[in-house]
Structure 1
């Protein structure tokens, strides 16, 4: 499971790690969009509470599969999701405000309409939860994602078989 703030690289890294491990990759935001439409429209038409409900359903579905899973930045704030993650190997991806600024500059993410100030606020609120759930942590601010993906895959391979993506339960 990959968790962390918006634009930390969960999706990009998750795809790479899954490819290295030869297992499926699931992104909960993509699952939500496939079923309910674009996230900005969901927020505009239904509001954040409905989005969070659909997100929790997508997380439940993803966690039931043997895959590398990237969770949306706020997914861990749902108590049921946080509780489910406590029993799993969880990678926390972090990124500095300086490095994330360029990534979110033209983002169409509903909760980041305030730019870097809003991002910093969100991360400050969520970081205690991220840290409480993390088994390990990687910073994506400066290092090549390919190198980080290899390191994460190597770490996953050290896990007991029942904990690692793609292994038997």
Structure 2
């Protein structure tokens, strides 16, 4: 069996990629981003949505998630990846960290976004709706949660690393 990964989940704009890269470096582990893997293999996500639809993207994403979990290390998942029932089952074998962000912090993080699900007249309202739809799933799957809304990003990385090492409860 593969070593248990440290999996970062949460809404768009929570900092999963930024925290994940730094966390992997701090822990001396590899880093894998499921969205980046899809882009590398299949092209830009916004184009995949436009040309093939969300269902096609989600199937590609599922394959990327499976590959990342098999690799181990620190794995960052796209915001909607946790909607897949197989992914939810797979996550039970790993350490899952939920990164949260307060709604009032979101506008500055999603400004000028190309994220397909936020291409709406009011991207912030759309983000809030998506987060509310997914919140229970995020919370149910997570072993620990850390907020990324304020303070230096390194503080979040340090807190997550301490949790991974068992330094904190």
How much does 1:109 deviate? 0.2
Query: What is the count of residue pairs matched by the alignment?
Result: 159
Which segments of structure 1 move beyond 2 Å, counting only runs of 4 or more? none
Structure 1 residue aligned with 2:36: 30
Which residue number in structure 2 is paired with residue 130 of structure 1?
Answer: 138
1:39-72 deviation digits (Å, cap 9, x = unpaired): 0000001100000000000000000012100000
Q: Does 1:97 align with 2:103?
A: yes
C-alpha separation in 1, matches of 2:132 and 2:151: 23
Q: Does 1:139 align with 2:147?
A: yes
Output the TM-score relative to the length of structure 2. Answer: 0.92
Indicate yes or no: 2:86 matched with 1:80. yes
**Consecutive unaligned residues in structure 2, runs of 5 or more:** 1-6
Q: Does 1:69 align with 2:43?
A: no
TM-score (norm 1): 0.92
Aligned to 1:167: none
- Residue 126 (structure 2) pairs with residue 118 (structure 1): yes
Structure 2 counterpart SS, 1:64: helix
Counting only pairs closer than 5 Å after superposition, residues 34-45 of structure 1 correspond to structure 2 as 34-45=40-51
Aligned-pair Cα RMSD in Å: 1.0
Q: CA deviation at 1:87?
A: 2.3
State how far apart, in whole Å, the 2-side matches of 1:11 and 1:104 are.
14
Quote the offset at 1:158 in angstroms: 1.9
Equivalent position to 2:166, from 138, 153, 158 = 158
Aligned equivalents of 1:76 and 1:24: distance in 2?
21
